[in-house]
Structure formats: C-alpha cells, structure tokens
Amino acid sequence: MDRFMNWMTKRFAPKVEAFTKNIWVDSIQSAIMVILPMIFIGSLVTLISILNNYIPGMPDLTPFTTFSFGLIGIFIAFLTPYFVMHKKERHNIKLIAGATGISLFLMLLKPTVGDDGTIKFILERFGPSGMITALLVGVGVAAVMNLFHRFSLFKKDTKLPDFIVEWFDFLVPIALLLAIGWVLIYQLHFDIFEMIVSVFDPLNAISQSLLGFVLFNFIGVVLFSFGVSPWVMSPLWYAIWFPAIEENAALVAKGLDPININTFETFFSGWVGVGGLGATLPLVVLFLFAKSQKLKSIGKATIVPSLFNINEPVVYGAPVAFNPILMVPMWINGIVIPVIVYLALDWGLAAIPAQVFQLWYTPLGLSTYLISGFNGLILLAFVLIIMFIIWFPFYKVYDLQELKKEQQPEETPNV
C-alpha cells in the first residue's frame, strides 16, 4: 500500500492534474460548465411536471427542455473554440472563432433546403446526439484559428485600421473551415453523425454494460480520492450520458421501456453518489458519533452540505483524499454499490431513469423518488445499509487513531 500510495502521489496524480490543466481539456470542461444552467432548466421542468399528476390541464412544458437541454450541441460548438482562444489570450479572435464553430456545426447538421427556400434540420442533432460532433467542430475550429493566428495578408507597417486588417485576416481560416464542411456535406455527401454513431457504438455498448457502469463510477472515485477533480472525465462522461438519457426519454414517450442504465448524473444523485461522489454521507453521519473531537467537529461542519451531495469539505477536510484508511472503503463503495444498483435496475426492481435530472444537489431521497419512484427509495435504503457496513470498520480504526493523538499530552518546548 505504501508503494502504491507513493506512486499515485508522486507520479499518477501530478500527471492527471497536468492533463486537466491543459488548455484544450480545460476549455472543453469550461464549455460544459457554462451550459449546466441550460441543463438545469430541463431538470426543473422535470420537477414541475410532477404537478401533471395532480393538476389537470397543465400546459406542455417540453419546449423548455427542447430549447435548453435540446440545444447543447450548438452551445458547445460556440463555447469550445471561444474558451480555447480566451485561455490563449487571443481575445480579438475568440468571438469570431465561436461564431465559426456555430456556422460549421450547422453545416454539418446536413440540413435540407426546399425549393421554396425552407430549411429543415433534424432537431435531435442540435442536442445531446450532436455533442460529439460539436466537440470535434469546436476543437477543429480552435486548432485552425490557432494555426492562423500569426498569419496576416498585410505587412506590419500597413496604414489600414486594425479592425480592417483583422476582418480580412479572419477570412482565410473561416473560408478554409467552411470549405472543409462544404466538401464533406455537399460534394462527398458525408454524414458525420452516422459516422460518429458507428464509431461510438462499441463504447456506448460497453458503457451500458455492468462493467462499464462500474468503471465509470470507480475511475471518478479513484481520481477524487487522490485529490484530482473527476471533471477531467467530463467530456467522455457527458458524451455518453446525454444521448443515453435522451434515448430513454424518447422510448418512454413512445410507450416503451427505457433501456440505458448509465444515464447522466441521475444514478449518482439517486443511489451511487449518496453525499457526493464516493458515497461519503454515511461516513459523515458516523463522524457525528465519533469519540475523536476532531472527527465529531468535521461531521457537524459537513453534514449539511453532504445532505445536498456536496462532499468536497469532507473529502479534503477529514481528509479522505490521500488517507489510506478512508480511501479504501471509498474505493470499495465505488465498486460494490454500482454493481448493486445496476443489477437492481437491470432486473426491474426499480425504474430506470428516463428524465433529464441534473439537480444533483437535491436533498437525499427526493432526487431518488423523482427519478425512480417508491421502489427507487427502497433500493436507496438498501444501498445505504451496505454503505454504512463498508465504512464502519475503517471509520472505527480512524476514530481510534485520531482519539489517541488527542489524548497524547502536548509537548512543551524547552525554555
């Protein structure tokens, strides 16, 4: 364990941290962070839609979801190149880079234009289904804009105003990018969406398997236990979650059963991530009964945020991160609980989530009921018991360790 901890601390964690700080990765993460409020809107509509069961004649609120969560592809196409240019401090080009991202993304949607001038898009391609395309467009636009940053059609001593120079200099990379889209769509009749679906089919299949479901959670837990933000995985996670929950919702709308278990953050807030990633709420509750005054104080300070699935205070404050005694049960929970949840959902013991629900900070139990009903609460009660059982022996060891430290007389310096 000591050798493993040393390797993780000195080699693995710093490399992952450096990767997350890479401008390109950081820009994608920033783009996703910006669109979260648009996703929250879809979640709020889910909450309000509960009133349909009690108030007849409630208006249809699905357009709120369609024109928020349903447009995340186009948002990503703009925000990704924008943030790359912003983080590279090329502020004069960041807006036009974002606009070019939208332009190319819309072209790659492969719309049809009627003889009367009407243009038709496939609406679902604007949303989660188009997220991978949007990311590729965003990164591609940013790369080309970055490549042409130092290029200019004019000499440095030109008398033309700067804004005129910039206008003309932007023409080359924009024309090149749109030419690529034009050749792909209108000359080669290439459908990038179908290509991406075929490429990602194996990955989607793996992600919806028991192994994939467990790995998704476990990798995030391990990273978090070493102080690395699991946000480093967000581009991959969201690229799979978004289309999966969208497909479930479409199936339910047709009167069919949802099929995708690895969906969005619904399973985190509902069962797997009770108290936050790594299922730390039971640990915080145990801290409230600790003999160590330090742990008891940490429990009191972190219980409220933990009830809302915010566990950075306990992960970094207890600390769980870089603490072998507490990291091990966190890892065990990161494997055992996803296995239980997956099997329960797969066997039909609780409903598979089929609604957009990004309100991960909803208090314990409420989110579970909203996404899976009463049976979901029964499953939650069961996994909570398992979590407590897993945490308890490690908590006792850590509590006694901290208690001994507190009982040792303080050394007074020699005068």
Per-residue model confidence as pLDDT tens digits over 145-161: 988 877 766 566 565 55
Q: In whole angstroms, give the CA distance from residue 93 to residue 152.
A: 13
Per-residue model confidence as pLDDT tens digits over 88-147: 988 888 999 999 999 999 999 888 888 887 888 888 888 777 888 888 899 999 999 988
Q: What is the mean pLDDT of residues 20-41?
A: 79
Residue 232 has pLDDT above 80, yes or no: no
Residue 56 has pLDDT above 60, yes or no: yes
**Is there a contact between 76 and 35 (Cβ–Cβ < 8 Å)?**
yes
pLDDT of residue 415: 46
| C-alpha atoms less than 13 angstroms from C-alpha of 163 in its C-beta half-sphere | 0
Encoding tokens for residue 301?
Answer: 């300070």
CA 36 to chain centre: 9
Out of 7-16, 102-111, 325-334, pick the least confident. Answer: 7-16
More confident: 294 or 161: 294
Closest CA to 13 of 222, 273, 215: 222
- pTM here is 0.68
pLDDT of residue 105: 95
Q: What is the mean pLDDT of residues 306-310?
A: 83
pLDDT of residue 139: 92
**Is there a contact between 253 and 262 (Cβ–Cβ < 8 Å)?**
no
Transcribe 54-101 into DSSP letters: TSTTPPP-HHHHHTTGGGHHHHHHHHHHHHHHHHTT-HHHHHHHHHHH
Residue 81 burial (C-beta neighbours within 10 Å; 0-12, 13-18, 19+): buried
Q: What is the mean pLDDT of residues 240-267?
A: 80
Indicate the average pLDDT of the chain.
82
Q: Which amino acid is at 173?
A: P
Q: How large is the greatest C-alpha to C-alpha distance in the chain, in angstroms?
A: 95
What is the CA angle 160-99-177, rounded to 5? 85
